[in-house]
Structure formats: C-alpha cells, structure tokens
Chain A
Amino acid sequence: MKNSIQYKLVVWISIAILAISELASGISFWLAYNESQRFQDDTLRQIALLVDTYKTPLEDERIIESMDRDPKRIVVQPVTASRSSLPPLLKLPAKLSSGYHTVEIDGLYWRVYIYVSISGTRFAVAQEAKIRKDMARESALLTLLPLLVLIPVLILVSRQIIKSEMSSLRTLAEIIDTQNEDRLSVLPTNKVPNEAAPFIHAINRLLQRVNQMNEAQRRFIADAAHELRSPLTALSLQAQNIERTDSFAISKERLVPLKDGLERSRHLLNQLLDLVRQQASATHLLKVDLAAVALTVIQEIMPIADAKKIDLGLAQETAVQIDADASAIQLMLRNAVDNALRYTPAGGEVTVRIGRDNGDAILEVIDNGPGLPNAELERVFDAFYRLPDNTQVGSGLGLAIARSIAVQFKGSVSLRNRTTGKGLIFTYRQRESQSN
C-alpha cells in the first residue's frame, strides 16, 4: 500500500484539493463578508440621504426609531439634541466627525453614520454592530456551499480516473502472467498510459530477446534429437542385419558398419558433451602457450593424418601466449584440424600456424582441400549445419564448439578460402597475453 502509486495519488490529490479549497473558501468568505459589510454601510448612508431629503421627522427633533424593537432596527437621531426634552436613544459621544464610526454605547457596539446636511444639521444613522456581523457572516457562509459540494466530488472523480488508468497496467500484468513461456507475445502498447510506455517497450524488447533465445534453444534440441536419431537408426538396422543372417562370414562382414555406427554415436555424444561443457563452464584464465597446445594436438591426431596420407605440420613464426584455458583451446584446435583432415584429399597438406597480428595472437589451420563456397563460410558455424553436398559423417558440432570456446575467451573464429590456390583457412584470434 505504501508503494502504491494509486494510493499515493489519491492521498496527495485529496490533500491538495482540501488545502486549496480551504484557502479558496477562506478568501471567498473574507471577500463576501467585507462586501456584505460595505453594503450595509451603504444602506446606512442611503437612509441618511432619505431622511435628509424628507426632513420632517428631524424638524421636531424627534428620534426616528424604526421597526419597533426589532434587533435589526436602524436608529436615526439628531446629534445636536441637547436642548430636547426627550433623552436620546443612543448616548452618542459628543465629538463625532461625519462618516462611519463604530462606537460602544452601554456595552453594545453600534455602527454609526454621521451625516451633515447642507443646512448644517447633523444626525446619526446607526445599527447594532453584532447584528450586522451576524448577517454578513451568514451571507458569506452561503458562498462556501458550492465549494463544500465540489470537494468530495473532485476527490471521487480523481480517484476514479487514477483507478481506471492503473487498471490498464493491471491488465498488462495479467497478460504477462497468463503467457505461455514457449511463445511469449509482446504486450499491446495502445492502451497504456504514455508514462508507462517506455517501461512496456523495455519489457517487450526483453520478451523478444527471450523468444529468440527460446527459439534457438528449441532448434538446437530439435537438431540434436535429429542427429542422435540418425546413428541410432543406423545401429538398429545394422544389428538387425546381423541378426538375420545365419552365415558367420556374412555376420562378420556386417559387423564392420555396426562398429562404425558405434564410433559415430560415441563421437556425436562426446561433441555434444564438449559443447555443453564449454557453454556451462566458468573458467579462470591462465597463460596458455599456443605452441604447446599445437604440439599436443598434432601428436594426438598424427595417426589419423598418417592413415589418410596427409602431411600435417606446424609453422610457428613466433612464441605467443594468450589468457585462456589450455584444454579448451586444445579442443578447439583438435576440431579444426579434424575438419581439415576430413576434407583434405589424400596426399594433401594441413598446417597449424601460430603468429601475431596487431597485438592479437593468431592460431590458424590451413589446408589444401576444396575450400568452401563463400556464402557458407559463416553458416557452417551453426550447430548441426551441414553443407548440401556433404557426404562426410560428422557431428556437425565441431565449429559450433570452436565458436563457443572463442566467445568464452573474447576471441573470434572465422573461416576463409585461400587466395592462392585451393584450400580453407581456419583462424582463431585473441588478444595476446600481456607479458610481465
């Protein structure tokens, strides 16, 4: 409740309305009260003029006493009435100048207007001050009535407006709550108050990113399932082929592809595990000597190169170190060399090159195989992507693993065709380690 915008708005708007209306009604009361008193003063003056015009009552110096004993009565009496037999109704102080006065007479306050006629006669028109004040207050209070009605209406209306504006946010929250995690749809922005729009746009951008990630993950899982099915299909067929034959010789013959099938499954599972491990592992960086990594991989892979009669060699131009994890860099290089050997024809040449360029360490695998169409150079890094005419049995994960490793060490991997002669160059580039 304390953090509710709706609550705060209602409270503060109510306070503001009350404060302002307080002030407004104060001013309005004061103005109306004064106006009313001025009006009453004016009435006294008007009466004085009337009395002066029709002189009669004052000629016999009688007091005009209006309306009996009415509390609102207005009294008219001569001021110079000392010679009169009758006592004056109001004992007015002797020296009153012409104009308005408020005087105390016998404990009561009177508002007195002293009038001097052209003939020089002075007389007073008076009314009891308390009555006048009461009357003025009453009429001033009446002016407050519309305000009093308005305040609760204003509070209610503002509350209602805020509530309805906030309800669009609540609707959005409901939309988010009821979303299917698999396919998050963006939130509608047309019914949202402008103030909330940047927030909603940010949420929508986040939702889109989550969607893309979900989509990539879904595709990867679908691809992985597909790729796992293929060797499994081959294995089950190969096993059944052996089961069906009675001949020992044929059984033995059919065992060969079964072994290949097992090797393929094993390779695929290893690659999948490598990829997952690369994506999940939080490595701490150590200095890695690229030459040492290259030597390890070349030694390891030499038998395969020999078997394919491919000349596998190292070209080290300079000693270079990077901050990375040696086993990850080995894995990347092994995958790159493996690919090179796979696509280079017998009698070909594969070279691991270590160099330096502009502060970057460079690790390259150069082959003289057929190379790749330029349009495919980037796509082959996608997991399970296979070239249209590729008949090689591979996991389709080698380059995806290499890229994942590169990302981990803030390096980059790329493929390019050789400009001189045929062949492909795999390049890993990473900031060289700061020597100390």
Chain B
Amino acid sequence: MRILLVEDDPMIGNALCVALRDAAYAVDWVQDGETALRALDNREHQAVLLDLGLPRRDGIEVLKKLRANESALPVIIITARDELEERIKGLDSGADDYLVKPFDIDELLARLRAALRRQGGQAAPVLSNGIISLNPATREARKGDIVCLLSAREFSLLQALLLRPGTILNRAQLEESIYGWNEEVESNAVDFLIHGIRKKLGTDAIKNVRGAGWMVARNT
C-alpha cells in the first residue's frame, strides 16, 4: 500500500515517514504542492496525506486539481488549520477526511485504513476474499482455522492482492506497493515474502500464474 505524503515541515514529514513505514506502508514524501501534483500524475499511490499550508501551491489547490482530473484517490488532510470554515472547505474540495495537528498517529492510521476500505467499496474493517481474511488494524491474517500475524511487508503484499481478488499482479506492481521511492528494492524480495505468507497460511493461499504474476482467488 503506497501513500503520498505532502508535508512541508521537515520534522513532521520525517516523523510521519517513520510512523507510516512502521505501519507497513510504502511512503513517498514531497514537500511542496507542485511536486505533489507531478507525483500524483504517475497514479502509483493508493492514498494521499495532504498538508494545506504548502509552498508553491496550496494544499486545497492540489486537491482541487486532483479531483478535476477525476481521481477518486482517498485524500486525508492533515493540517494545523482548525477553523470550521477551513475544515468545511477542505472536505468540500474533495478530501475524504480532515485531521487537525497535533494528532495521534494511531488515529491517523485508523482514518487511513477507513479511507482505503471505503475506496475498495468495503464497509467491513477486515479485508477478505471469502477464503483469506486480513485485519489491517492488527495485521492478523486468517484462513480457515489458521490465524497468524504477518510482518509489515508480508502484510503489504497480501493486502495488495486481497484488494483486487482474482486480478493478477506482476512483480513490479507488487514491489511498488511495498517500497517507497527512495527505498532500495531487494531483488528477490517478492518471492521471499510470498514464501513466508504461504508458509504461514498454506501453499494454496496465493496462486502463482506462470509468466504473469500472482493472485488470490475471487470471492465466490
């Protein structure tokens, strides 16, 4: 799960990056509105955390531009502006949620999960294809009687697959959901993670389509 973080304050940006990576997200961090818009053009993120007071282009402008391009990407505004008008303006400009600084990281993560869940058309907090279920809040995976705890990256990979059951994801797509821009991609990381997940949930948990990639079965 790859997040674009738009935050101009270097201290907050750094701390948020650490926190989001701890929570198994791949994070790309940009510090101004212009760069944010360019990063969003690539459409490689699943959610945006957006500060409002940004250099070059205000957060609201970035948001409006994003929505004008008909992107339904979940956007959570994180800002120190707590006036009612600002919050209304933020939400009406197309934000999915609005969080005022200072906030608790656990709350931000929960809101992020909720936004991503709604994005996938799911109301239930647990991600499932009918066979495997995954709890994003606890990183707990369940298949039949087997219950196990996944590592951060194992979770990211399985989550990427479970978000689109029945769809084959190739190596590059899976890597993209696990790593941020400036993180070094280990060459056989995907194989290693899938091996780990299969070991915990059984070999049939993830299906390998030769020459194409991996998938989990669609809910029937």
Task: Identify the A interface with B (CB < 8 A).
Answer: 225-226, 229-238, 240-241, 244-245, 254, 257, 260-261, 264, 388-391, 393
A234 contact from B8, B11, B55, B56, Cβ within 8 A: B11
CB contacts (< 8 Å) of A244 on chain B: these are 19, 22
From B100-108, B113-121, B163-171, give the one contacting chain A.
B100-108
Q: Is B138 part of the contact surface with A, judged by Cβ < 8 Å?
A: no
Q: Are B10 and A241 in contact (CB under 8 A)?
A: no
- Closest-by-CB residue of B relative to A228 is B80
A27 to B36, alpha carbons, bound, how many Å? 97
Q: Is B12 part of the contact surface with A, judged by Cβ < 8 Å?
A: yes
Q: Are A229 and B105 in contact (CB under 8 A)?
A: no
A291 to B9, alpha carbons, bound, how many Å? 38
Q: Are B101 and A229 in contact (CB under 8 A)?
A: yes
Q: Is B146 part of the contact surface with A, judged by Cβ < 8 Å?
A: no
Q: Are B81 and A234 in contact (CB under 8 A)?
A: no
A261 contact from B11, B19, B56, B101, Cβ within 8 A: B11
- Whole-angstrom distance from the CB of B52 to the nearest CB of chain A? 10
Q: Are A232 and B22 in contact (CB under 8 A)?
A: no
A233 contact from B32, B55, B101, B106, Cβ within 8 A: B101
- Whole-angstrom distance from the CB of B16 to the nearest CB of chain A? 6
Q: Is B14 part of the contact surface with A, judged by Cβ < 8 Å?
A: yes
Q: Are B15 and A230 in contact (CB under 8 A)?
A: no
Q: Are B22 and A241 in contact (CB under 8 A)?
A: yes
Q: Are A232 and B11 in contact (CB under 8 A)?
A: no
B31 contact from A229, A261, A391, Cβ within 8 A: A391
Q: Is B53 part of the contact surface with A, judged by Cβ < 8 Å?
A: yes
Top 9 closest pairs, chain A to chain B, by CB? A237-B15, A234-B11, A233-B102, A229-B80, A233-B101, A388-B55, A226-B80, A232-B102, A234-B12
- 17 A-B pairs with C-beta separation under 8 A: A225-B80, A230-B9, A230-B101, A233-B12, A233-B80, A234-B12, A235-B102, A236-B103, A237-B15, A240-B104, A240-B105, A241-B15, A244-B22, A264-B11, A389-B32, A389-B55, A390-B55
- Closest-by-CB residue of A relative to B81 is A226
CB contacts (< 8 Å) of B32 on chain A: these are 389
Q: Is B18 part of the contact surface with A, judged by Cβ < 8 Å?
A: yes
Given contacts A237-B19, A257-B11, A232 and B31 within 8 Å (CB-CB): no
- Closest-by-CB residue of A relative to B108 is A237
CB contacts (< 8 Å) of B10 on chain A: these are 391, 393
B103 contact from A233, A235, A241, A390, Cβ within 8 A: A233
CB contacts (< 8 Å) of B104 on chain A: these are 236, 240
- Closest-by-CB residue of A relative to B12 is A234
Q: Are A234 and B31 in contact (CB under 8 A)?
A: no
CB contacts (< 8 Å) of B8 on chain A: these are 391
CB contacts (< 8 Å) of B106 on chain A: these are 240
A234 to B32, alpha carbons, bound, how many Å? 18
Given contacts A230-B101, A388-B55, A237 and B22 within 8 Å (CB-CB): no
A226 to B104, alpha carbons, bound, how many Å? 17
Given contacts A264-B11, A391-B10, A229 and B18 within 8 Å (CB-CB): no
CB contacts (< 8 Å) of B101 on chain A: these are 229-230, 232-233
A393 to B15, alpha carbons, bound, how many Å? 15
- Whole-angstrom distance from the CB of B49 to the nearest CB of chain A? 12
CB contacts (< 8 Å) of B53 on chain A: these are 226
A235 to B55, alpha carbons, bound, how many Å? 22
CB contacts (< 8 Å) of A260 on chain B: these are 11
CB contacts (< 8 Å) of A235 on chain B: these are 102
A111 to B180, alpha carbons, bound, how many Å? 133
Given contacts A226-B53, A241-B22, A234 and B15 within 8 Å (CB-CB): yes
A264 to B15, alpha carbons, bound, how many Å? 14
A264 to B14, alpha carbons, bound, how many Å? 15
CB contacts (< 8 Å) of B102 on chain A: these are 229, 232-233, 235-236
Given contacts A230-B9, A241-B22, A388 and B15 within 8 Å (CB-CB): no
- Closest-by-CB residue of B relative to A230 is B9
- Closest-by-CB residue of B relative to A229 is B80
> Which of A233, A240, A244 gathers the greatest number of chain B CB atoms within 10 Å?
A233
A261 to B22, alpha carbons, bound, how many Å? 20
- Whole-angstrom distance from the CB of A219 to the nearest CB of chain B? 12
A231 to B10, alpha carbons, bound, how many Å? 10
Given A230-B101, A234-B11, 19 other A-B residues pairs in contact with their CB atoms under 8 A: A226-B80, A226-B81, A230-B11, A230-B12, A230-B80, A233-B12, A233-B102, A234-B12, A236-B102, A236-B104, A240-B19, A240-B104, A241-B22, A245-B22, A257-B14, A261-B11, A264-B11, A388-B55, A389-B55
CB contacts (< 8 Å) of B16 on chain A: these are 237
- Closest-by-CB residue of B relative to A243 is B105
- Whole-angstrom distance from the CB of B110 to the nearest CB of chain A? 13
A231 to B11, alpha carbons, bound, how many Å? 8
A415 to B183, alpha carbons, bound, how many Å? 42
A225 to B101, alpha carbons, bound, how many Å? 11
A260 to B10, alpha carbons, bound, how many Å? 11
A232 to B100, alpha carbons, bound, how many Å? 12
Q: Mark B71-84, 1 if CB is under 8 A from A, else 0.
A: 00000000011000
- Whole-angstrom distance from the CB of A394 to the nearest CB of chain B? 12
A244 to B106, alpha carbons, bound, how many Å? 11
Q: Are B12 and A237 in contact (CB under 8 A)?
A: yes
A236 to B56, alpha carbons, bound, how many Å? 27
Q: Are B56 and A388 in contact (CB under 8 A)?
A: yes
